[in-house]
Copies of this chain bind each other. A is one copy, B any other.
Amino acid sequence: MSPPSILDEVASLLERLRSRRPLVHCLTNQVVKNFTANALLAIGAAPAMVEHPEEAAEFAAMADAVLVNLGTLDEGQMGAIRRALPSAQNARKPWVLDPVAVGPLGVRTRFAREILVFQPALIRGNASEIIALAGLAGRGRGVDSGDSAEGALEAARTLARATQGAVLVTGPVDYSTDGLTVTACSNGDALMTRVTGVGCAQGAIAAACAAVSDTPLQAATAAAVLMGIAGELAAAISRRPGSFQTALLDSLDALDGAAVRARGRLA
């Protein structure tokens, strides 16, 4: 499909998101819960965070999509996720996996591989996380990527085929793939790495998109385009990280189909 047609799809997905207001059950990390909830509200979705294992199972079936982000995984959250995912799968609700820091840290790496069996509609990670999750030789250190997004494309295709979903590899260019085709999105601004949780919020927005998209690949591309353009709009308002963070929420709210078509940069 041509880039303009894909941008048309993203624009109409954004419209659907705002009219349906999908409820996203976020099992995410402690650092970004507030910003993630505000990013979902700003773009037009509805957030909810329920972590008691019994309730996480109840709620995953009521929500329209589930986000699992492993940033501050502990035993309690592992229990909640193990209850939520089969419930989401039974209710045919899509879920997104954000495998934060998978690779150098042991517990989450084993756990991320364990829950792949529940078939995430979408996996969103940086190059090192995607390579490590695919079981290939990771070169990541700590929470930053030591690999280029381009170098992770083979791992991304492998994971997408194995899960029958889509993978979004993030970096200066974001790549989305369903194992067959690859779309590259070059929207965004380096300031997005100076505010904590921008990538995590992109994962949550990807879950909101998956609740209203025709295919997982469409949701992955939409998350890349929407967050990337919002980042550019915010960087035009402020070059300092505190006010940039505020402007990013304002820009997610201000996004519309015209901005998507005019500013989206796909290849």
Contact = CB atoms under 8 A, between A and B. Distances in A.
A38 B242 contact: yes
Interface string A24-50: 000001111111011001100011111
Nearest to A38: B196
Contact of A194 (B35, B42, B142, B245): B42
B242 A55 contact: no
Contacts of A50: 72, 101, 105
A18 interface: no
A74 B62 contact: no
Interface string A223-253: 0000000000000001011110111111001
A237 to B, nearest CB: 10
How many copies of this chain does one complex carry? 3
Interface residues of A, number: 58
Nearest to A144: B46
Contact of A34 (B31, B48, B52): B31
B46 A30 contact: no
Interface of A: 23, 29-35, 37-38, 41-42, 46-52, 54-55, 58-59, 62-63, 71-76, 101, 104-108, 141-144, 194-197, 238, 240-243, 245-250, 253-254
